[in-house]
Amino acid sequence: MMSIWSLFGPSRERQRLDLALRRYGVHPQLLADPVKLTVLRLIGRHPAEAAIERAAVLIAYCLLGPEDFVEANPPGLAAEQEQRLGLALEAPQGEDARLVMLCLRSGLAESSIEARFELEDVP
């Protein structure tokens, strides 16, 4: 099946997302193109680089889980993502919660992250 990227090449935002994922220890090919497009859609039409970085680090945390994330990143960064996960549980309609749900529903979230969220309770 031909990808849209093979016809037009990845957008600048998609390239930034791929680079940011790599920085946080996730190979970009672990996320399917539709997942990446959804991430970019969730964070805005023309997201600033900071928004892409912020999304990428949370996605990396969800995919790698706490232990592997700490191995690939500074410990303080893991603590920040833990805090964001806690806030996402409290505010299920927020951007962070939507990013976490995307990881969960696409089957990419690490098992300890998955265990903290109940998909049945999320709209």
Residues contacting residue 27 through CB under 8 Å, at least 6 positions apart: 21
Residue 37 lies in a domain: yes
Lowest mean pLDDT among 43-47, 51-55, 78-82: 43-47
Q: How far apart, in whole angstroms, are the C-alpha atoms of residue 80 and residue 56?
A: 13
Residue 81 lies in a domain: yes
Decide if 109 contacts 122 (C-beta within 8 A).
no
Residue 66 lies in a domain: yes
> What angle separates helix 75-90 from helix 49-72, to the nearest 10 degrees?
120
Mean pLDDT, the chain, rounded, equals 87
- What pLDDT is attached to residue 119? 57
Each residue's pLDDT tens digit, 72-112:
999 899 999 999 999 998 888 889 999 999 999 999 999 99
> What angle separates helix 95-105 from helix 75-90, to the nearest 10 degrees?
100
What count of other Cβ atoms lies within 10 Å of the Cβ of residue 3? 10
Residue 122 lies in a domain: no
Ramachandran region of residue 31, left (φ > 0), alpha (ψ -120 to 50) or beta? beta
Nearest of 28, 2, 30, 26 to residue 13 by alpha carbon: 28
Domain count within the chain: 1
Token digits of residue 111: 């098992």
Domain that holds residue 15: 10-116
Each residue's pLDDT tens digit, 67-81:
999 999 998 999 999
